[in-house]
Structure 1
Amino acid sequence: MNTPVWITATPPATHGELHIGHLAGPYVAADVLTRFLRAEGEAVRFTTGTADHASSVEVRALRHHRKPEEVAEGYRAAITADWLRSGVEFDHIVRPRKDRGYGRWVRDLFSRLYAQGVIAPRTRLLPFCEPCDRWLYGAHVTGTCPHCGAVSDGGMCHECARPNDGGDLIAPRCALCDTPAVAKRCRRLYVPLEPFRDQLSSYWDMVELPPRLAALCESLVEDGLPDIAVGHPAHWGLPVPVEGFPDHRIDACFEAAAMHLFDYDTTGPLPRRAIHFCGFGHAFCHAVLLPVLLLAQDIKLPQEFNVNESYVVEEGVGEGNVWALDLLTEYGSDTLRRHVLQARPTGRRTVFQRDRLASARTELDESWNSWLTRLFTAVREECDGLVPQALPGGAGWSVLERRLRRGLDDLREAYGPDAFDPRRAVAVLDEMVRSAADFGHVNAHERCRPTTACRHLPALAAQLAVASALAAWARPVMPEGADRLAAALQVEPGRPVDMTALAAPAPGTRLAPPSGPVFGF
């Protein structure tokens, strides 16, 4: 059996619930690709984890006078529930505080890299908050990014994706008490990237990076690859397993990169293809640190990157109105998945607008569900609810069939990993449904012709064939509605996105349409 395609999505920090920007970023898109490949018969392993040891978890715990482990566990449960409700189905979600052997595995990897000289001690300036008596790193410190001028946490700027060393931040302040930080010398453990210059450059030349990510990597090389802190004096996280650093914890970015390797056994056969989905602000961990961890172990893994920009909330929309749970409850997974794929922030920042989410529901109701309701009603009234004894046909059927074939080529290209474009997939599906609805309206008049009996039945069979195809073709985008449609037509769910799906159910099959809408609710 071939080794599977490996698809990963960025592990989210468990300091809060998922919001619509998370779904518009890596998670739904990665699920679409996974579902398409599986329908094609490809072996796929789809994985992620939760960044329970992120510094933002401890900051939230301190602000609300809770224990970090309580915050992490509570939000981890909420996040995984939101994934499930939105139809994002992972093969494995790494749970840092639950998965057996995880902590030991990460510490062993850290120790090996230290022994190899990949990790080395350095003494640098690090912000310190005197009122809190706390070293400031990660989410504990806020300031201005020295590279792009954006507001940034310590360690990584999520605007330009370039690392900083905490002490590099301009005007750093304590995130908890807002006191200006004092720079103090601190001895920590680092991964110096400069020794990997040639290997990383060759790797990036081999990988087809998205343009903005390629620009980031080339800039890092041009400016001199930095040393990346992989440990901090802290109370939260996995202990650094190196003598002389008793109160230090492993950095969350290092752990997020290593987490992917824990989930995929690198001692066995490597995947023939690895595709990472991440937001640009997290791209450094995937495109720089993860390859270094692999290269340090003499593992050459071809990787591809599907990078999204930020999906931000427009002014005037309260944060409480954009949580995934609330929107899934109000709109359902079909509507929300369809919307975030249409609005996916590819190549540029996108602003969430609730009226466009409402428009996605309207499109499903007035186009998709309206056509299917008319079709099921016609079959019930004209054929007693049974698939007619007729071959697909009707006025314009040959034209519609050719259009569907051409559309299917576009759809398969948009679903495929080489030209992945879920926004295009939604547009193609919409056009198919509108064409089928127009075909149904035109041929409905055949019932009124007194000279030829049953002339309208081939058109019903043709529309049932299109509906059967959509149960397969739309499933990567809207799995809940597609499976509901497959059940109504009594056809197998999860079929390949190809022309074999364009076939009406067997004549005489009794349809079982749902009592409510097929797609959405």
Structure 2
Amino acid sequence: MSAPTPTWITATPPTPNGELHVGHLAGPYLAADVLRRFTLADGAPVLMTTGLDDHQSYVATRGLLDGLTGEEVADLNGERITRGWDLAGAAFDRVVAPRRDPGYTEFVQAFFQKLYDNGVLVPRTRPLPYCVPCDRWLYEAYVTGGCPHCGAGSNGNACEPCGRPNDCGDLTDPHCVVCGAAAEPRPQTRLYLPLAPFADRLARFWRDTPMPPHLRALCERMLGDGMPEIAVSHPSDWGVPVPVPGFEDQRIFVWCEMAPGYLLQYEPESARPAVGPVQFFGFDNGYFHAVLFPALYLAWDPELPLARAFVVNEFYRLEGRKFSTSRRHAVWALAALKEGGADALRLHVLRDRPHGRQTSFSEGDLARAREHLDTLWNGWLNRLVEAVHAETGGVVPDRRPDGPGWEVLAGRLTRLCGELREAYSVEGFDTRRAVDLLDETVRCAADYGHVHRHERERPAGREAYRAALAGELAVASALAAWAAPVVPAGAARLSETLGWGPARRVDATALTPPPAGTVLTLPDGPLFGS
């Protein structure tokens, strides 16, 4: 019998023009990890992948601004990015490294060549900004100007605020990012992908693919305005060389490169996925994932499975302004992890995730998240363990949860668990809701404990009191399983304290006290927050 096909989860490759910041973690990376852990706990295989977007022009421009080579910038920040993932608990199964993985360049070029040979890519001569002082063609990160669609400040090729693509030459008042000089338009022949031939198939794909309304509106606006032609090559010396004769001095547009790069994430040998991925990305990358990539895949292999669902975050802001690596407006992930620890950082950014709206990080947020865990979660758990030690010497009593209060609490938490499973699922994915439900679990258990401590004051209340302690221990056991996708490190410590193994299923069966006789021993540090 063949092994079951894994659920494929992707998170958009980060650009190594800087290290990870808290906005990245609040966006695709920790959210994808939540789905990964939830799915694995359900007993289903998972493949979670990403890459490093080494060939982004933002890497090369950062090198020019800092006096470094593109390679130096990518290597330095690539190492910091992967270390940030590790410390934050974002457990990727595969990370593609474009400049190191054998066969990467050859596959990307073969993908591109096939599209050209099949007449999908065509040459077009159109204006492209040129910087005379730098003696450089300007595209993407090299140029800034006004978006031709919404008028906002934009770099070349795509506008972050409205999500629409541009052709670089249609930016208003273009300027060179490196030296600041005004750019002049000059004719340049590049290779283009006309999207109009894919309009009907893309419309059917959008109709059948779960995505948020903001992204669906972007797709429908582009369709209604007439699908554009997208430049897929640029004159540059940074990136994968174009294999088409006559264009040797150009490089494959990095977002066109990323499409075959995703295929290599799934299966480096065959590069032919058996299933479509659940894709996590920010809205500013929405056009690439929902329009450009599907068109490229349809052109390369019409039978290739397309994305199963799009899970999209809006911008996460820092004190009201968008996090930005290139502008160095950020709270860096490594520093934040050192300050607050993985539990507090994960809890905060997943509770504050910009899901359907923009949210903002403020100074003191991590300290408040750590205090929240210590006061609410650890406070209840510490009181519970102390109560068990006072009653039985720290040994789980041979008593099952019982009584009217337990029946009410168990029913409430069983219903809550159904909502939690929905918040963890692809269809209802919402980490903000998940954290709220975990907090509600702890509050319900803490209230139950306060009420039933009075049982021990009754002359005949000893058995009722021990049943109430068993009920609290059952909720603690459930919390260890239910919170693992959000705060895996703390959940693992709690599981160990209660004598449970790791990665139990998020369901109502976890609402069971540890086996009688289990000795409860708290770790040296806090259960959650260290």
- Describe the SS at the equivalent of 2:188: strand
CA displacement at 1:257 relative to structure 2 = 2.3
Return the match for 1:60 from 48, 52, 62. 62
* One-letter identity of the residue aligned with 2:111: L
Query: What is the CA–CA distance in structure 2 between the aligned matches of 1:286 and 1:362, rounded to whole Å?
Result: 38
User: 1:117-166: per-residue Cα shift (whole Å, max 9, x none)?
Assistant: 11121111100000000000110111111111111111111111111111
Answer whether contact 2:113 2:244 (CA < 8 A) is retained: yes
Instruction: State the 1:206 CA deviation.
Output: 2.4
Question: Which residue does 2:305 correspond to in 1?
Answer: 301
Equivalent in the alignment of 2:124: 122
Map 1:165-176 onto structure 2 (within 5 A): 165-176=167-178
Q: Deviations over 1:29-56 (max 9, x none)?
A: 1111111111111221111111100000
Alignment of 1:27-42 (within 5 A): 27-42=29-44
Q: Superposed, which structure 2 residues align to 1:33-182 within 5 Å?
A: 33-182=35-184
Structure 2 distance, partners of 1:451, 1:107, is: 79
> What CA distance in whole angstroms lies between the structure 1 residues aligned with 2:194 and 2:461?
82
TM-score normalised by L of structure 1: 0.96
Alpha-carbon distance in 2 for matches of 1:316, 1:193: 34
Secondary structure of residue in 1 paired with 2:423: helix
Are the counterparts in 2 of residues 52 and 96 from structure 1 also a CA contact under 8 Å? yes
Moved more, 481-490 or 384-393: 384-393
For 1:512 and 1:520, how far apart are their aligned partners in 2?
17
Match of 1:472 in 2: 481
Q: 1:449: how far off? A: 3.0
Runs (5+) with no aligned partner, structure 1: none
Q: 1:142 to 1:317 in 2, by over 3 A?
A: closer
Give 1:386's aligned amino acid: V
How far apart are 1:359 and its partner, in Å? 3.1
Question: Quick one: which amino acid aligns to residue 389 of structure 2?
Answer: R
Task: Determine what percentage of the aligned residue pairs are the same residue.
Answer: 51
1:287 matches 2:290:
yes
| 2:401 corresponds to 1:398 | no
- Residue pairs, 1:156-305, within 5 angstroms: 156-265=158-267, 270-296=273-299, 297-303=301-307, 304-305=309-310
Native 8 Å contact 2:105 2:240 kept in 1: yes
- C-alpha separation between the residues in 2 aligned to 1:208 and 1:453? 53
User: Where do 1:332-481 residues align within 5 Å?
Assistant: 332-393=341-402, 396-481=405-490
Amino acid at match of 2:302: D
* Aligned Cα root-mean-square deviation (Å): 1.8
Contact 2:320 2:360 in 1 (8 A): no
1:133 partner letter? D
2:496 paired with 1:487: yes
Equivalence for 2:514 = 505
Summarize deviations over 1:222-256 as a string: whole Å, max 9, x none. 22211111111111111111111121111111112
Contact conserved, 2:263 with 2:273, CA < 8 A, in 1? no
Q: How far has the Cα of 1:279 moved from its partner? A: 0.4
Residue 453 of structure 1: how far off its partner (Å): 4.0
Q: Secondary structure at the match of 1:276?
A: strand
TM-score by length of 2: 0.95
Q: Aligned-pair distance for 1:500?
A: 1.7
Partners of 1:388 and 1:134 in 2: CA distance? 75
* Higher mean C-alpha deviation, range 191-200 or range 396-405: 191-200
Matches of 1:409 and 1:174, distance apart in 2: 53
Quickly say closer, same or farther: Cα 1:395–1:221, change in 2 above 3 A. Answer: closer
| Aligned-partner Cα distance in 1 for 2:139–2:123 | 17
CA distance in structure 2 between the partners assigned to 1:239 and 1:387 by the alignment: 65
